[in-house]
Structures are given as C-alpha cells and as structure tokens.
A and B are shown apart, each in its own frame.
Chain A
Amino acid sequence: MNASPTSARALPFDETRRRGGPLSALLSSDRPRSKVLSALLLAILLLLAATPFLFSGSQPVGTAAKICVFIVLVASYDLLLGYSGIVSFAHTMFFGIGGYGIAIALERLGPTWGSAAIGLIAALALSALLAIAIGLLSLRVRAIFFSMITLAVASAAAVLASQLSDVTGGEDGLSFQLPQALRPAFRLLSEPVFGTAVNGRLLAYYLVFFVSLVIFLVLLRIVNSPFGRVLQAIRENEFRAEALGYRVVAYRTAASVISALAATIAGALMALWLRYNGPDTTLSFSIMIDILLMVVIGGMGTMYGAVIGAALFVLAQSYLQVLMGAGSAALAGLPLLPNLIHPDRWLLWLGALFIISVYAFPGGIVGRLRQAKQ
C-alpha cells in the first residue's frame, strides 16, 4: 500500500503559512496553486452564484443546484477516499438517510422549519451511529474487506428503504411540501430583480448554494487541519502512523463519521431542492458509481477536485448526451461505431477517462493542472 495515488504530492504546509490574508483564511491556506485551476474554480463559483439571473427556465437552475449538492457529496467522499485511503461503497446510504430524514419529517410533521430541523437532526444522528458502527467493526481490517462490507451494508439499506414502504414510500419515494418561504408561490419582493422573480424557488436555490459553500469550506478546513494531516499520514503508511502513537482506527472512524455527516446534509439539500426523495434520487448504486467517477476524475485528495469533478460530470450528464447524439447520427450506417457514441453510452467514455485517471494522472484534473504549473 506504499504506492498511494497521491504520494507524490508535497504537503503545502510551510509554503502557505507565511502568506495569510482573509482569502487564505477562508480557503484554510490551501490555495488552488494553479492559475488555470483558480480561474476554473472562480468561474464555477460565479456561474453557480448567478445561475438564476443568467439563464431562464428551470433546467439550468436545477442543474446548478445538483452541482452544488454533488460538490458537497463528492468532497465528503474525497475526505474518505483521497485523504484517508478508505474505499467505502456506503456513501449513498448516508446521502439517502439525509434525503429520507427531510422527506419523512416534512411529510409526517407538516411543512415547517421545525420539522425540517427535526428530520435533519434525526438523520445526522442515525448517520453518525451507523458510521461509527461500521467503522469500529470493519475499519481495522484490510481495504478490500471494508469495501465489500460497506457494499453489502449499503445494498441492505437500499433494500430496506424500498421494502419499508409505510415509512419510506417504497419505490415511489415521498413527495412533500416545503416550508412557506421556499415555495414557488412565496414572493419576497414584489418586483423582479434583473428580470428574475424573487420567489421561494430562488430562496431555495440560494439555501442550497450557501449551505453547500459553507460545508465545502468546512471540509477544506478539516483536511488542512492537524487532524487532516494525520489522516494523510495514515493513508501513506499506516504502520508508521500507528508507531508514532496515533490510534489509526479512531482517526479513520472519525473521518468516516465526518464524511457521513456531510453526505447526510447533502442528501437533505437534495431532497429540499427536489421536494421529493426516493431510492433513485439518493440511494441507488449508480449514484455511488457517479461519486466515484467524480472524485477520481476531478482529483483524489485535492478537495478542489470535487468541484471540478462534480461540475464536469453533472454538465456531461445533462449536455454531453446532446453532442453525442449528433455524432452518433452523423455516423449512422457504420457498424457498432454509432452505438459506441450513442447518447446513452456517455458513461462508457467517462468510465474510460476514470481508468486512465487512476493510471496516468492519479491526481485527476486538479493534480494535472497543478503539475502543469510547476
């Protein structure tokens, strides 16, 4: 396990300590360290912040909200995979718990902020308990064992969610009402601003946006704290970290709890935005695969990789298919080729990119950009 994918990266501790300033404080002294990357991140941030005012229609805003949620989800997974070297397949379980927490509470207790809070707190508590249980039971064994056990547990959770239809709505999921202030009919200002009505939908979007931003910065803070450094040390050489006196299982369990909590919040945001939660939106295994692709393509162990990965992936999911459709139509008549670039085969190409990432540039897009600078 010595040849960890990110072992080549130097820890940017001393270099950044000397600088400072408010931006550094906000980014926990972990600057993008590449001009192109900074530009990309800034562009994504500005676009996400201004989407409701830049584009008309509901699809772009929906895409932007999904990107925000997935940035949190993928960043929290990166804390596990990239910073701690733990491969878990149970991340969607925590995402689902968050979604169901909000959905069940708002559906049963009525559409108020109070019930949303109760749902979120209950979901966070359940996630933390499960993460501790799984962590303490199986994090002391080897990487493969942990992966397989989390896969089994996650599939059991998915089965439970679809079986306990009295509680979770089964395969149909749960639709629910939002608190008054987030409903489309709610008007904060009577006049539109820059041609966009300031209604509950807009507030809901900015709730998703700002909560995602804060959670992302918190995660960035965590991985750049001494705690984060210990995780990286364990990832690089478990034996030495143990010999230095760090309790490896405790640190790993703590990492998986933090990661699970962030995923739970992401799930809650997703449910709030969609006003619905079901197995396919938060709990399915295909979302787990998406998360894995986003982390690795964006860049494991970089945090900013989550932003790039999530944005790229969600955009590809929404818009690459159109491009591929055109290509496929142009090649009609040839054998197999049109099938390979059929719009439904977009995952094939991202999968190939994923494999190439693992081999050729383990730091993903972010690692690549940072290397280019040096």
Chain B
Amino acid sequence: MSDLTTDAAAPAELPRAKSDWLPLLLIPALALLALPFVGSPSTWVTLTVAGLAMGMMIFLMASGLTLVFGLMDIINFGHGVFISLGAYATLLVLGPLAGWATADSVGLNLALLLLCILAAMAVTGVAGAVFERVIVRPVYGSHLKQILVTMGGLIVTEQLIHAIWGASPIPIPLPQSLRGAFVLGDIVMERYRVVAVVIGLAVFIGMQLLLNRTRIGLLIRAGVENPEMVEALGYRIRRLFVSVFIAGSALAGLGGVMWAFYRQTLTAGMGMEVMVLVFIVIIIGGLGSVGGCFVGSILVALVANYVGFIEPKLALISNILVMALVLIWRPQGLFPVARR
C-alpha cells in the first residue's frame, strides 16, 4: 500500500461522511420500550448487556461482508465459511497451548484469546486472498454469477474444512478466567460477553477512524463512489480492492473466533448458520454501510434478547420482523449508501 500512503501529505481536514443520527436513536428507544415489558430493572440491565455483547459478535462477523460490498460491489455468499475457518484456526493455537486455557492467570488466558484471534485473522486473511483470486475475480460486475460462484466456494471450502479437521463437532473450552459472570447486586454480566463488547467496540471505533480519518479510508470511500476516478488519479484500485477483501475475510475470522468461544463447539456449518443473521443485519443497516451494520447488529440482538425473554417462541423469527419493519420505514436500510 506504499503508493497510497507516501503520497503528498494528507490535508489537515479530510472530508467526513455526513452523519444521520435518527437510526441511532432507535437503540435507546427500543431499550426503553422493552423496560415495562421485562418488568424488573435488574433483569432488564442483564438482558441489555447480553444483547449488546451478542450484537458486537454479530457485528464482527458482518462488518467484513458489508465493507467488501461497499467497496467492491461484490456480495460474498461464501462469507460464512470464513467465520467457520477462523473458528477452526483457533485449533492451531489451542493445540500446542492447551495449558494456557486452564492456567489460573487472567494474563495467560487473555493472551491465548489474542493469539487465537491473530491466528484466525492470519488464516482467513490468506484464505480471503486465495478466494478473491480464484473464485471472485473472474465474476466482477455480474451479481448473478457472484452469488452462484461464491455459493460454490462456500460448499467447497466447507468440505475442505471437513477433510482437514474431520466432520464431527469439536468442543473448544473457554479460557478459565473468561468463564462465569460478574455479579453486581441483581445484575449478572457474563465475563466473556464483556470481553466481546470491548473487542467489538474496539473494532468498530478502529474501522470508523480508519475510514473517516485516514488517507486509506478516504480512498476506500472514494472508491465506493467512483472507482474509475480513483484509478484515473493514479491509485491502484485493484490493490485496494484486494486488501479490503483480505481485511473483510480477516474480520470474519475474528468474528468466528468470538462466536466459536461463545458456542464452545466447532462445526463447519456454523458460519452458514449465522449467515442468515448476518444478511439480515446488513440489509437492516443498508448494504455497504459499516455504521448501519453496527446499529443493525445491536438492534437485532437486543430485540432477540428482549423477545426471547418476553415470548420465547417469537424470538427465532423476531429478526425477520425487525427486518420487515425497517424495510418499510427505509427500503434501502437504515443508512442507505449512495450507489453508483
């Protein structure tokens, strides 16, 4: 990326994306609306924190997909397999360092989680590069073929995971100090969910800063608006595309690790199972919008949590209902991205 960064010094004030705060108000409004239905405030706080954590995990899994779509206009139906792949990559770390998971040290436990994340991001980053080259590159521009071919990539990669790691589910233990919950009075917060909130927020803020405050972010946003113009200005849009695809896959890998530790089992189909949720989230958020994806993830997770508590049977289709309502309000999603 040297040619992107070493160019003339960045101007003091880069243009920022314009803000639209209305959808953000949905989250507190929803939380307040749920309060009387849930009843007890302590249960409500517990549910809200759990929902936020769930939302962060969904965001981690979905952010890469929406980023790739935003820039490259590529919809990757095989994105889910990177989630699985990232989850399986933890085995590379958990195998040799199994002792760290059971060690009674918070430092070692967190270090193990970090190593798992790094391994997953490395593996899925490389896999993303291969996937982009072999599967996606020949079908730029045709959505129909993209859907078909990435679906094929999903099938093949899922089978390869089976071939390499075996087809039966593999249990993975959560590191010792991440188990259990913090209890503050009547409020229960699972430790792992707190970690998920921290990581999710860090990634979201990092992405926002990168996209809105740096030269690379400016180029990415410009590339979304008009790739030919960016190319004509002398930037290699191709390289930018590939790096964004790799970053998107690596983010899926990161999401996969968090999701796998949350479920504590690995299956090759786990990525595909959450893909439905991921799609719903990015449809709600507005295809291609990172901020929308963040808001959408939290909305869907909070609604699922509240509804799951109030009326369990409805919880499983609550996300469809949220999607339908949002699409009635804003047919292009909460934060519509200007399309070329």
Residues of A within 8 A of B (CB): 1, 3-5, 85, 87, 137, 141-145, 147-149, 151-153, 155-156, 159-160, 163, 285, 289, 292-293, 296, 336, 339-340, 342, 344-345, 347-348, 350-352, 354-355, 358-359
Contact = CB atoms under 8 A, between A and B. Distances in A.
Contact of A358 (B75, B148, B275): B148
B164 A336 contact: yes
Contacts of B10: none
A342 B323 CA distance: 41
B271 to A, nearest CB: 13
Nearest to A164: B313
A350 B155 CA distance: 9
A163 B144 contact: no
A144 B287 contact: yes
B316 interface: yes
Nearest to B155: A351
Contacts of B144: 1, 4-5, 85, 87, 143
A355 B163 contact: no
A143 B138 contact: no
B162 A345 contact: yes
Contact of A296 (B143, B148, B164, B279): B148
Interface in B266-316: 272, 275-276, 279-280, 282-283, 287, 313, 316
Contact of A340 (B143, B163, B280, B331): B163
B135 A355 contact: yes
Contact of A348 (B151, B159, B282, B316): B159
A143 to B, nearest CB: 4
A4 B148 CA distance: 12
B310 to A, nearest CB: 16
Given A1-B144, A143-B144, A355-B149, 8 more contacts: A152-B319, A159-B316, A293-B155, A336-B163, A350-B155, A354-B152, A358-B148, A359-B139
Given A163-B316, A289-B151, A339-B163, A358 B145 contact: yes
Contact of B162 (A156, A160, A344): A344
Contacts, number: 106
Chain B interface: which size bin? Answer: 35 or more
B142 interface: yes
Contacts of B153: 355
Given A1-B143, A87-B147, A355 B162 contact: no
B99 interface: no
A119 B142 CA distance: 40
21 contacts: A4-B142, A4-B144, A5-B145, A87-B144, A143-B147, A144-B75, A148-B280, A149-B323, A152-B283, A152-B319, A289-B155, A293-B155, A336-B163, A336-B164, A344-B162, A345-B163, A347-B159, A348-B162, A351-B156, A354-B148, A359-B138
Contacts of B135: 355
A348 B156 contact: yes
A136 B187 CA distance: 46
Nearest to B283: A148
A182 to B, nearest CB: 35
Contact of A152 (B138, B149, B279): B279
Contacts of B75: 144, 147-148
A358 B142 CA distance: 12
A348 B160 contact: yes
Contacts of B139: 358-359
A285 B163 contact: no
B167 interface: yes
A348 B272 contact: no
Contacts of B156: 348, 351-352, 355
B240 interface: no
B320 interface: yes
A303 B51 CA distance: 47
